[in-house]
Amino acid sequence: MISDLTTWQITLPLALAAAVIGYLLGSIPFGLVLTRASGLGDVRNIGSGNIGATNVLRTGNKKLAAATLLLDALKASVAAWIMTYFAGEEAGIIAGFFAFIGHLFPVWIGFKGGKGVATYIGTLLGIAPVMVLLFGAVWLAVAFSTRYSSLSALVAMLVIPVALWMLGAEKVAAVMAIMSAISYYRHKANISRLLSGTESKIGAKG
């Protein structure tokens, strides 16, 4: 649902409701919940200390990492879908954005969450689903040419807001641009390693 909305029409109570619902859903730390439930302990004690799918993969359990990726994406999608259904497109955009924020800064675990790639994709699925195909295409193109997963995500997050803006979806483009900027900040260590040539490549042995 990509539309050209030039002014925000949503009321403050609805906007607040969307923000709260989005944040609470987004702040569910599925990576931590799943690893603990599977008897693998606290995922924050291994690798990067991140609760996202990439760090869950470092437990050696690919299925658990895939489940984390899916759930981290869907929590943003569900938030956007619920609020869109009950309160309109703008509420869905707000809910998706705050689900992303909730994932990055979950209240339940001291505001130390993931980097937001899966939840970014989930937000896209909830508010501009066709853009998920573009994200995937860009990610695959960069991954095949460079074998850097982090760079693939960073490039895709740069392309998405531009594409949305060109399609006339100014509000969605603006929100996704903010999310991209925040995720870039969360990837600052990856960016530093990319610049120094020390970032791990896809398929590289530890």
Which DSSP letter does residue 35 get?
H
> Cβ-count burial of 67 within 10 angstroms (0-12 exposed, 13-18 middle, 19+ buried)?
middle
Residue 192, amino acid? S
Residue 87, amino acid? A
Average pLDDT, rounded, for the chain: 92
Residue 173, token pair as written in the block: 């483009």
The answer to whether residues 112 and 157 touch, using CB atoms and an 8 Å cutoff, is no
Helix then strand count (H, E) for the chain reads: 10, 0
d(CA 59, CA 41): 10
Sign of CA dihedral 28, 135, 131, 6: positive
d(CA 190, CA 171): 29
Place of tokens 């970032």: 199
Evaluate if residue 1 carries a pLDDT over 70.
no
pLDDT of residue 205: 56
Least confident of 43-57, 61-75, 143-157, 173-187: 43-57
d(CA 80, CA 86): 10
The model carries a pTM of 0.92
- Nearest Cα residue to 58 out of 71, 46, 42, 44: 46
- Nearest Cα residue to 75 out of 34, 136, 15, 134: 34
pLDDT digits (tens, 9 = 90+) for 22-42: 999 999 999 999 999 999 888
